[in-house]
Structure 1
Amino acid sequence: MAMTDLTTLRPKRKSRGGRRTKAGYNSTPLLLRPILWLWRLTWQVTFYAVLLVLAVVGLFSFVDPPSTIYMNEEAQRLGNLKHEWVPIERISPVMARSVVAAEDANYCLHWGFDVDAIRDVIAEGGRRGASTISQQVVKNVFLWHDRSWTRKGLEALLTPVVEAMWSKQRIVEVYLNVAEFDEGVFGVQAAARHYFGVDADQLSATQAARLAAILPSPKRRSASRPSGFVQQRTSQIVSGAAAIRADGRADCFQG
């Protein structure tokens, strides 16, 4: 009688861990491989881009931006600029109140976008802007100057990030140091000397209001030779700056 080979009767063991066969690794259709590779690459690039943006925004929350895209463009066009960074402690408090009263009176009440102002602009047919100081800082520091939807979209994405990572006082400080006040004149310190021959911490209420009044069209308006419009606007800003100080709308940056 022939002996049975016991090895043929033993059940075959399954490989542990579900090890894939060589054919399993090549089961993805050839046409899908470039698409999957591109998809993974896109997510990796997006992830590292977001990390870089967060790192830069976080860095500028305590490190002063050395320059901006627009300032570099103007420096190349004009040859040189007038600009000197000064901390907010060396800026007259009424200057900060004046620019907030002129540009964004509800600055302390919103998180980067003034919804009420946007509604008013829409109701008026879009004849004026509704950019907050936070949005202008994002545009001036991180982006470029144009009206493209790309720039506006990036501005909308970055504004809440800046609001979350910077203090309200820091946003005002950066705004006052990078805003353009005349052709080739950037920042409130250079503007105070350019127009009035004083330092930023010596500005009076009227001088501060005049500087705020020429925004956002400093190349067409003058703080030292004010037109009728600038004079009228100055009077409104003086009153507005006093109002936001009295009712607490300046507390978030001058608390």
Structure 2
Amino acid sequence: MALRLAIFIAKFILWFVGISLALVLLFKFVPPPATATMLLDENGYTKEWRPLSGIDRNMVGAVIAAEDGKFCTHDGFDREAIEQAMRENAKGGRIRGGSTISQQTAKNVFLWQGGGFFRKGLEAWFTFLIELLWGKERIMEVYLNVAETGIGTYGVEAGAQRYFQQSAASLSPIQAARIAVNLPLPKKRSVLNPQGWLRRHGNSVAAQVSIVRRDGLDSCIYG
């Protein structure tokens, strides 16, 4: 009985590793057709894939400034940010996340929304794989195409068309920042008419876009 169970577990692990490797390798070259979040969205979904070369550098700078300042230097996990988030969350109040862009990409493409240790464990596995097999450029490209940017809206191209009636290929720092600060809560935050803290945060991120470029925080993408 114990031997049979051990064989079953070993086969399951090999199957899971093989399937996950195949999916990660496939999506290194092929745009993910849809994600679980899109398919489960009661509002339906609108998306339009745009290669990274067709997305304004301001948009890349804005998400790095707003979401993950160490994107180009970490291995997929910002341990300092995770520890800080755990300390702040232990105090109560507004829940703070410590996920990197790589982790968010892994979750958005391969998994589902929500917490739990099991899902977080899978997220860590897929984050490791995409960092290893995709590299930073592909991670950023996929992230900017699958991230939810509004109600039933996915990817920065669909977001730019929705909010500004123009392509993501040409976004000003403030436009890119408005989209970027909306990403954590796209169904609740306003891109076109933000107020209070959200407006100030967007202005701050817009001001940081040039700093991201000046300090080479996007150097893993633009060299």
Could you state the TM-score of these two structures normalised by the residue count of structure 1? 0.82
The equivalent of 1:174 in structure 2 is 142
Q: Does 1:105 align with 2:69?
A: yes
* Distance in 2 (alpha carbons) for counterparts of 1:88 and 1:181: 17
Q: Which has the higher contact order (CA 8 A, sep 6+)?
A: 2
Deviation at 1:214, TM superposition (A): 1.1
Deviation at 1:124, TM superposition (A): 2.6
| Paired residues, number | 219
Deviation at 1:242, TM superposition (A): 1.4
The equivalent of 1:205 in structure 2 is 173
* Distance in 1 (alpha carbons) for counterparts of 2:147 and 2:127: 17
User: Which amino acid in structure 1 is aligned with residue 23 of structure 2?
Assistant: V
1:181 match: secondary structure: strand
User: Which amino acid in structure 1 is aligned with residue 170 of structure 2?
Assistant: Q
Unmatched runs of 5 consecutive residues or more in structure 2: none
Deviation at 1:115, TM superposition (A): 1.3
Q: Do the aligned residues in 2 keep the contact of 1:221 with 1:227 (CA within 8 Å)?
A: no
1:55 pairs, out of 22, 25, 28, with: 22
2:185 pairs, out of 211, 217, 236, with: 217
1:169-223 CA distance string (max 9 Å, x none): 1111111101111110111111001001001102111100110111201111111
The equivalent of 1:252 in structure 2 is 220
| Structure with greater Cα Rg | 1
User: Which amino acid in structure 2 is aligned with residue 49 of structure 1?
Assistant: F
Q: Do the aligned residues in 2 keep the contact of 1:68 with 1:142 (CA within 8 Å)?
A: yes
1:107-147 CA distance string (max 9 Å, x none): 11100111121222233345411100000001100001111
Mapping of residues 1-255 of structure 1, within 5 Å: 34-74=1-41, 77-78=42-43, 80-126=44-90, 127-255=95-223
1:66-93 CA distance string (max 9 Å, x none): 000010001xx22x32211111111111
The equivalent of 1:9 in structure 2 is none
Q: Do the aligned residues in 2 keep the contact of 1:134 with 1:163 (CA within 8 Å)?
A: yes
* Distance in 2 (alpha carbons) for counterparts of 1:233 and 1:101: 11
* Distance in 2 (alpha carbons) for counterparts of 1:61 and 1:213: 27
2:217 match: secondary structure: coil
The equivalent of 1:15 in structure 2 is none
Unmatched runs of 5 consecutive residues or more in structure 1: 1-33
C-alpha RMSD of the superposition: 1.3
Q: Which runs of 4+ in 1 moved over 4 A?
A: none
Percent identity between the aligned chains?
Answer: 43
* Distance in 1 (alpha carbons) for counterparts of 2:205 and 2:222: 17
* Distance in 2 (alpha carbons) for counterparts of 1:125 and 1:209: 26
2:40 match: secondary structure: helix
- Could you tell which deviates more after superposition, 226-235 or 159-168? 226-235
